[in-house]
Structure 1
Amino acid sequence: MNTILYIIIPCYNEETVLPITSKMFLDKLTSLIQSNTISNSSRILFVNDGSKDKTWEIICNLAKQDEHFIGISQSRNRGHQNAVLAGLMEAKDKCDITISIDCDGQDDINAMDEMVEQYKQGCEIVYGVRSKRDTDTFFKRFTAEGFYKLLNWMGAEVVYNHADYRLVSSRVLKEFANFKEVNLFLRGMFPLVGFKSTSVYYERHERIAGESHYPLTKMLSLAFDGITSLSIKPIRIITALGTVIAGLSFLGVIWSIVMRFMGNVVAGWSSMTCIICLIGGVQLVCLGILGEYIGKIYMEVKHRPRYIISERTEVKDTSNSHKKVHY
């Protein structure tokens, strides 16, 4: 029996690029089916992440034109990571493997051939890794590479230059379903599941059409989520910093006492002000980091659903066709 593949594609306001890339994805799926690499039951699953344009309408039309296209729509915009998770959880009981990939056509879809081949050789997770960053600006390349190095230094296990283009088996997804975090950073969570894994290298292209929906602010937010979700090292750094400052302060007290008995007391308003400002600033930064962790704990203990599916293109059971699914 051939392997059933579901290609998971998160979409947010992609009405410009979706008509172009959908044909590319279908061609790739068809070629894999014709080469007897995967089953004809394989599907392309679009996840509409609360788009405000005609993205969902396009997905519905694609599903009517070809049975290999299916789609689900979230009740509201929940973000890229939640959209990918929704697609993976939707597919885990229907297929043998999934490949998640962005809709913009930047990731090389031809890498899917090698991903499937690596799966058939025994790998449960296959990471799509960029071989180089020639298409990025210097600033983006510098910050992205620095981010991966920082994550590894913080103790988080991430694959260097890997985003969310990956093959994951249904076996891994069923174990991954036990991870209940609300604060998602998928590229750092899948290595925690374990199982045999490998990497496939590819060159990333320019976006085919439309504009990126991941500006600098969202990238920084994702980076901070990744650090605080996977590592407690910032808290340990605060502890070490507090210990160093306390030690220096203790030495300063001894120095002040010695100077007092030697009669060399000099009014030092400027130095005192600088010290107070320094310690005050450090305290505020430390409180901010601690507050960030406390905020994440607050969100986790609420156990709110990470996504809610409001619509599906597949309407086989009319009684349940509009039923919302919470996860």
Structure 2
Amino acid sequence: MQRRDLLLGGLAAASAPWTLAQALEKPKVTIAVGGKNLFYYLPLTIAEQMGYFKAEGLDVNIVDFAGGSRALQAVVGGSADVVSGAFEHTINMHAKGQPMRAFVLQGAAPQIVLGVNPKTMPNFKSVADLKGKKIGVTAPGSSTNVMVNFVLAKAGLKPSDVSIVGVGAANGAVAAMRAGQIDAISNLDPVITLLQRSGDLRIISDTRVLAEAEKVFGGPMPAGCLYAPQPFLDKHPQTAQALVNAMVRANKWIQQAGPGEIIRVVPESYLLGDRAVYIDGFLAAQKALSPDGLFPAKGPQTAFNALASVEPKLPKVDLNAIYTNDLVKKAMARYPKG
């Protein structure tokens, strides 16, 4: 811990002139997240635990919810400022006339894994076999639910052909599978690796692998990111830039980190009682995390196509209005090495 304390002190000292020179409009920021322990949101935890937010003059309060849709509701309801969640929510919100913009990427691929329960579906042969079954997701309406809908649609099934069950993103999800309460699950690491190692999961689709994610979605599919209502970004540009600075540093640190370093930084509760499983999960997820925070140019169109495939009435939206790379580029210029 001494090394980390020294590092935090150095970060704060090095960043003090920057934070003094750039007055933050809103130093206290509340970020809503759905399943903070997931590798999907690891950059958020690293930015918090390594002191990157504090080094930018921010006092960040992270509120954890059962899934991304709940986190989004917190911002819509005014109890949080920013969402750490799935990119595709920005499309849905624009379609509803509530413009939100993503401004720093955490995940280069969704990292969502869809798998069946070997106990309740020992004879599973294809996605069509899921008709009439119970599928666990982090929370109804979340990105894990979108993944299910997308895979079902490609197999000719409708969302109404299955029963969606919210199981969260931690031990509750693991218990639901092991008890046979659900027939399949759409979730993320470390939940997936834990179930896989204990023989309680047979994987159907794995978007932790960049190549497979692009094959599933037909292109680069941006995943976890920070997004906020457009009025928040307009009113608090320096605050948004400070958030991005911290996240870009976290992204870069993760790419250079080893499993042992990750274990030392994240809270003990993230390990779900098994350090070896957490290490395996990190190694599986590391390449699916964004190396720099930039959104891929073709990503927004891929996300729109994925949503439109399961929501045929989804109206067209201005894809340039749902994200920006401007703040990330400024952060990369300031912190070229992380």
Q: TM-score range by the shorter chain?
A: under 0.3
Please, what TM-score do these two structures have when normalized by structure 2? 0.25
> More relative contact order in 1 or in 2 (CA 8 Å, sep 6+)?
2
The structure having more radius of gyration, on CA atoms, is: 1
Please, what TM-score do these two structures have when normalized by structure 1? 0.25
